[in-house]
Amino acid sequence: MKTLMALLFTLSFSYATEWSLLGPSDIKVYDYIGIPEHVLCTENGLYIDSADVWKNYSNGLTILDVHQLNTDTLLLAMSNDSQSDGLYSFNLKTKAFDIVYYCGSPRFIYYEPIVPTFFLGTLQGCYFSDNGRDWTEITALHDLECYSMVSYQGKMAISTSDGIYWHAVQLSYPFQKSEGSPVLTELTNDYTGNFYGVYPGSSRSAGIWVTNDFGTTWENEFYERNLSTVFWTGYLLLGWESPNATHQGVAIWDTLNKQLDFRNEGLPAAKVNRFSTNQWINCVNVVCCTDCGTYFSCNIMQSKINNYSQFLLQEFNIIQNYPNPFNSTTMIEFNLPKSGLASLRVYDLQGRLIQNLLERNLNAGHHVYNWDTPNLPSGIYLITLSSGGRTITKKTVLVK
């Protein structure tokens, strides 16, 4: 049933130019999750698409972030700057809200699969939990405004009002401040070890900053005013906070040519709050949450991916699988400069062979393999391509 719903949704948008409206256009949307039903987190509670009918569920609080705890339960960061602020659960069967943990001005929910641990960032500190129900404060971040979080292989970075705090592998190691780090409001990860963050506003420091040592040191990637959010989807996708700025809407940062490629056809002139994706839909898709509704694209990245593939066509290479992290199915693209025997295998972090995806003679050129993982547990896996005496490996995260 879920696969059929995803297929029908993809077909319904197959003729869209760049962006198509998803749900009501008169609401501020702060986050999105596909389960695979579409769920919008808004200033007026949840909007859930049920058989093409959008139903609204609210307890009077704005929903700023969402994480699926299990099949029946969503975790929600909810706030209206009152004593009711906190982490709530929403039962998808009974459609009931329930308080999990009271806390002032929650901003993000993050799950780190390696530890594994949940994190709850607020404007009064940050908390962690091993089950999503019982929470403990991170002492080093007490009373700090915590805006966003990112991780890779157990190495974590949290953006705060006091700069970036980073942490390696185990929670027994305290979070440490990255001296001289900028105050960033949104973080993302390219799944090769690089973290990117937004320096908001219009100062000389505004723009995108990057670290390649998991948050210890940061440097400017490029300067740009009035950015609101950043998201990695094979390329760096950027959103702007002001519809009246010189640059606005959505753009892809072209790392090859060092330039912005704007993709705004079908988008309103509105603040971009967040990007997301629906891992149940079998296409490279992006969901854009704005102050004037939510917008979906199945082709905004396609020309960039095609150009990237052509650029790498003569190289032996795996293009980072998409989506990543993924829920059950991910697309693996790779290039072979010469025809010959090729193998594509998946290993766990202990080096054990998990699955032999293919092993046969292939022609030179670009290839795509859709990897379906119905029986594998959540975790980090290594995708290895071998051909002509050469081997290359990419890491991917499976989250269920």
- Render pLDDT for 289-314 as a digit per residue (tens, 0 to 9): 999 999 999 877 655 544 544 444 45
CA distance 372 to 351: 20
Neighbouring-strand partners of residue 395: 382
CA distance 189 to 195: 5
Q: Compute the radius of gyration of the chain from its Cα atoms.
A: 21
Any alpha helices (H) in 208-330, and if so which ranges?
302-311
Return the pLDDT at 210.
94
351: left (phi over 0), alpha (psi -120 to 50) or beta: left
Q: Are residues 218 and 347 in the same domain?
A: no
CA distance 164 to 218: 9
What single string gives the DSSP state of each residue in 163-213?
A: EEEEEES-TTSPPEE-TT----SEEEE-SSS-EEEEE-SSSTT-EEEEESS
Q: Are residues 250 and 371 in the same domain?
A: no
Q: Are residues 143 and 252 in the same domain?
A: yes
| Structure tokens belonging to residue 208 | 């995108």
Structural domain span for residue 242: 2-303
- Please say if the pLDDT value at position 14 is more than 70: no
Last residue of a domain, one of 303, 320, 351: 303
Q: Are residues 175 and 245 in the same domain?
A: yes
Peptide bond between residue 325 and the one before it cis (omega within 30 degrees of 0): yes
Q: What is the pLDDT of residues 74-122, one digit of tens each?
A: 999 999 999 999 999 999 999 999 999 999 999 999 988 777 789 999 9
Q: Are residues 298 and 322 in the same domain?
A: no
Nearest by Cα to 16 from 265, 286, 234:
265
35: left (phi over 0), alpha (psi -120 to 50) or beta: alpha
Last residue of a domain, one of 262, 284, 303: 303
- Please say if the pLDDT value at position 17 is more than 70: no
Residues 283, 14 contacting (CB under 8 angstroms)? no
Neighbouring-strand partners of residue 117: 112
Q: Are residues 208 and 332 in the same domain?
A: no
CA distance 280 to 328: 8
Q: Are residues 341 and 263 in the same domain?
A: no
Rounded to 5 degrees, φ, ψ at 11 are: -65, -35
Report the CATH number that the domain containing residue 260 is assigned in CATH: 2.130.10.10
Nearest by Cα to 389 from 316, 315, 320:
316
- Please say if the pLDDT value at position 334 is more than 90: no
Q: Apex CA 279: angle with CA 277 and CA 284, to 5°?
A: 65
Q: Are residues 238 and 368 in the same domain?
A: no
Q: Are residues 284 and 376 in the same domain?
A: no
Q: What is the pLDDT of residues 75-87, one digit of tens each?
A: 999 999 999 999 9
Residues 290, 275 contacting (CB under 8 angstroms)? no
| Structure tokens belonging to residue 294 | 């939510």
Report the CATH number that the domain containing residue 381 is assigned in CATH: 2.60.40.1930
The one-letter amino acid at 231: F
Residues 267, 16 contacting (CB under 8 angstroms)? no
Distances in Å between the Cα of 348 and the Cα atoms of 378, 379, 383 are 11, 8, 9
Return the pLDDT at 200.
95
Q: Are residues 349 and 229 in the same domain?
A: no
Q: Are residues 50 and 123 in the same domain?
A: yes
**How would residue 12 be classed by pLDDT, with cut points 50, 70 and 90?**
very low
Count of the separate structural domains present in the chain: 2
Last residue of a domain, one of 283, 303, 323: 303
- Please say if the pLDDT value at position 288 is more than 90: yes
Q: Are residues 12 and 139 in the same domain?
A: yes
Q: What is the pLDDT of residues 213-265, one digit of tens each?
A: 888 899 999 999 999 999 987 789 999 998 777 788 999 987 677 888 899 99
Q: What is the pLDDT of residues 144-172, one digit of tens each?
A: 999 999 987 778 999 999 999 998 765 55
Q: What is the rounded average pLDDT of the residues 45-62?
A: 94
